[in-house]
Amino acid sequence: MRTRETKAAPRVEPVRVPRFWTAVVLIWLLSVLLRILSLAAFGDGTPAGEQGAQMVIHTHDSGYHGYQAQAFLGQAEPRGPYTLAAVLPAVLSLVTPLSLDVVLFFLPVLLAPLVVFPMAWLGRRWIADLPALGLALVSSFLAGLYQRSHAGYYDTDILNVFFPLMIVVLFVRMAEDVRVRWLVWAVVLALLYDWWYGSARAMLFALAGGLCVHTLLYARTLPSRWQALIVFGLAVVPLPPAVRLPGLLLLMLALHVVLPRLTPGYKPAAWLARQTVLWLAPVALLVFAWLAAGGAAQIQSQVATYLGKTPTIDVQSAKGTLHFAAATGTIVESTGVSASLYAKTFAGQVLLGWISLAGLALLLWRVRDAILLLPLVLMGLIGFSSGIRFAIYLAPVALLGFAWGVYQLVRRLAPRDMNLPGLICLVFLLAPAWFHGGEVLRWNRQVALPVFDAGQVEALRAAAQRDSGASRWAFAWWDYGWPLWHYGQWKTIVDNGTHGDADSYLVSRAISSTNQAELAGLALLTSGEKARQPGQQAISGLLQRYGEIDGIMSAARGLNQTNTHGALVAASSTIVFPWQMRYLFYTIDKFSRRDLATGRLQDDKAVWMLGRVIERKGERVTVAQTLAPRVTSARPRFVVDETSGLVEMHEGKTRLSRLVRVSWQAGKRIVSERLYPAGDQLTLVEDEHGVILMHERYYHSNYVQMALLGRVDSTLFDVVYQGSTLLLAETRVAGR
């Protein structure tokens, strides 16, 4: 009996998109266009912030890069080494008709979407063409990355994902093609990354470690791979450029040109490869383990310092640090965030976040080259405990894991149809696109505020021109240090690079104090000390002179009565109080309430809540809290009865002691107050920027009295500029 022959069904290959890379370029252009169009949404949901896009910087770090760009152009004195982030906008402002400020504003729009190219390549390599194009488009506006790369947010983060992903792409190419060109490009990108971002070394070490692990697992018998590992390892070693660049050149010439030409048959190279396998493998593992452990310890130490987990302050030696821990409630730098909030940040939605992580885990398990993504994965996972900003690293690889998981699932359900998985995967990518797109709009409308708006910039530059360069001192919180450098070339007590200095304690004491004499005196004393000992903490010299903090504060209070300090004080110092500081004031006050012996917070029950009125019904006012650390959920609300002063919150009920309204008529500030007897020491202040519910102590602080209510002591300050968005008050000294 003849057996019936069966024929296997012909295998259908996934559809290939013609002109794939042309399509990717068009996606990049589309993402740039979408980012430009999204500017129209800036400030729509803020009571009196931006109204439409303003070509001003949105991040404090932009001020540093902008100032260094000015220095590179010969318009200022450099205050640090020139990085690529400063040189690039400077050169572009020279070769284009655009001003430096416009270049800084639009560079994130052009550079951040470059992430579409490595995402498209990886998607095409591990999934299929159609899902790869979808991945490219969605990756251009991932919420975790967009929050740190929208227009005006000129920060190193705009390329901190592109560089590692492109290096991973080149590593994957090295795994399948032994030609040296991929190694050369990987080294070039590593050097550019190191020049672009001074703190990129941890990621570069991790990338080198990932390459080492991949080599040991899958390519330990290939001499070319070990040679590549040696060369890339040298590229990430923190040596001076004058040593590293010639060393790389000589090493590559020796391994890829000289040795092969000197000995036909590559015998020395083969011997080197054998030796490499014998001794370099364990040495490399030990070295990278040491680097990883040391890098992890260093990162943990930096995070601990940055977030305030090591709070003891040695004020007497002025070598201790104050910490940024108090900013745990801010939307970008928040720490200790819930897992659900972090999942929303990198995936757009909680459930999608966990599905993405599951798909990513399977991708790492099933695709051997995907192990090269581990550095980005590990850096992103750090964010669950260290800071929400690390979502920029996890967002693209999590999206890749989501797409790969969907594709593989559909392939198992329909194994004979190779087109259906790609189409289904493309449809499923609509979900993250929807959630990430919604977060982008929310961010633009409710969060994306400039450090200084256009009017404030004009006032700052005009005020800076009034003073000579020697006396152009600005007394402000450190968040405004670098922007003040850029807008007027001011000198500052603290800035974004020295925010951990103990000088931040003196600045916080002055701003949150209820005595304007302390503010004026500390501004003059610290500015004078900084001028006398540039590069040193002002608190160090002041402690040597006055012995203790109380002595410094006493000298500051008495400075307006007699000018016995002579050259020890600055000729003048300008107090800078922008309206945006209300979002930082609680953090500032926390610095001032550190116990100097233990670093612990004192009196940590004060209330400072920001909100905006969303409904008025007679005497009942409903307020929604603004800038709450949420992504999509409803904001907390509270209701105020203006007749009785009763405040209803989700925690319970309380009662106002004071209701204050601030308005402007004919260019003059009008302040009205309403008192409530037997209140709970709470004050509600309402102005055009929103509502602040605060403890009575905050109401009497220098910031609230001067910046919000316009009550400036004319015996201590000359008001240089006063408006609804900014106060500039120059200090006065008796006898001058």
Q: What are phi and psi of 669, to 5 degrees?
A: -85, 130
Which H or E element spans position 729?
strand 726-731
Q: Does pLDDT of 286 surpass 80? A: no
Q: Which residue has the higher pLDDT, 428 or 42?
A: 428
Look-up of token digits 């993504």: 373
State the DSSP H helix or E strand holding residue 576, giving kind and residue range, or none if neither: strand 574-578
- Assigned token pair, 356: 């993405």
211 burial via Cβ count (<10 Å: 0-12, 13-18, 19+): buried
**What pLDDT sits at residue 1?**
46
**Residues 55, 58: Cα–Cα separation, whole Å:** 9
**615 DSSP β-pair partners:** 622
Q: Give the model confidence (pLDDT) of 35-90 as tens digits.
A: 888 887 777 555 444 455 677 888 888 999 999 999 999 998 898 889 999 999 99
Question: Taking residues 279-297, what's their average pLDDT?
Answer: 59
Separation CA 517–CA 575 (nearest Å)? 12
CA distance 254 to 259: 6
DSSP assignment, residue 97? S
Q: What are phi and psi of 728, to 5 degrees?
A: -120, 115
Sequence-ordered alpha helix ranges (H) in 112-200: 116-126, 129-139, 143-146, 162-176, 181-196
Dist. CA 167–CA 186, nearest whole Å: 5
If pLDDT is split at 50, 70 and 90, which confidence band does 310 have? very low
Q: Where does residue 616 rank: exposed (0-12), middle (13-18), buried (19+ CB within 10 A)? A: exposed
Q: Is the pLDDT of residue 610 over 90?
A: no
Name the token pair of 673. Answer: 């107050």
pTM over 0.95: no
Output the pLDDT for position 685: 94
What phi and psi values does residue 412 have, to the nearest 5 degrees?
A: -70, -35
- Quick one: which of 497, 501, 560, 498 has its CA closest to 525? 560
Taking CA atoms, 437 is separated from 75, 617, 632, in Å, by 40, 34, 12
Torsion angles phi and psi, residue 717, rounded to 5: -135, 145
Q: What is the pLDDT of residues 634-673, one digit of tens each?
A: 457 889 999 898 988 876 788 999 999 999 888 889 999 9
Token pair belonging to 579: 């309206």
Residue 679's pLDDT is 85
Q: Identify the pLDDT of residue 390.
A: 85
Whole-angstrom distance, CA of residue 680 vs CA of residue 281: 68
Helical H segments across 38-115, by residue range:
60-72, 84-95, 100-111
Give the end-to-end CA distance of the chain in Å, rounded to a whole number: 119
Q: What is the mean pLDDT of residues 88-95?
A: 95
- Between 149-163, 549-563, 662-676, 683-697, the lowest mean confidence (pLDDT) is in 549-563
pLDDT for 263: 62
| Beta-strand relationship, 646-649 and 637-641 | antiparallel
Residue entry with tokens 């008001």: 719
Burial of 421 (0-12, 13-18, 19+ CB in 10 A): buried
**67-71, 225-229, 437-441, 496-500: which has the highest mean pLDDT?**
67-71
Q: Which two tokens stand for residue 652?
A: 């319970």
23: confidence class by pLDDT, cuts 50, 70, 90: very high
Spatial contact of 688 and 670, defined as CB atoms under 8 Å apart: no
Q: Which residues of 181-210 are buried (b: 16+ CB within 10 A; e: fewer)?
A: ebbbbbbebbbebbbbbeebbbbbbbbbbb
Would you state the pLDDT for residue 320? 34
Range scoring the smallest mean pLDDT among 16-30, 109-123, 615-629: 615-629
pLDDT number for residue 160: 93
DSSP string, 363-401: HHHH-GGGGGGHHHHHHHHHHHHH-GGGHHHHHHHHHHH
Whose CA is closest to 307, among 562, 515, 500?
Answer: 500
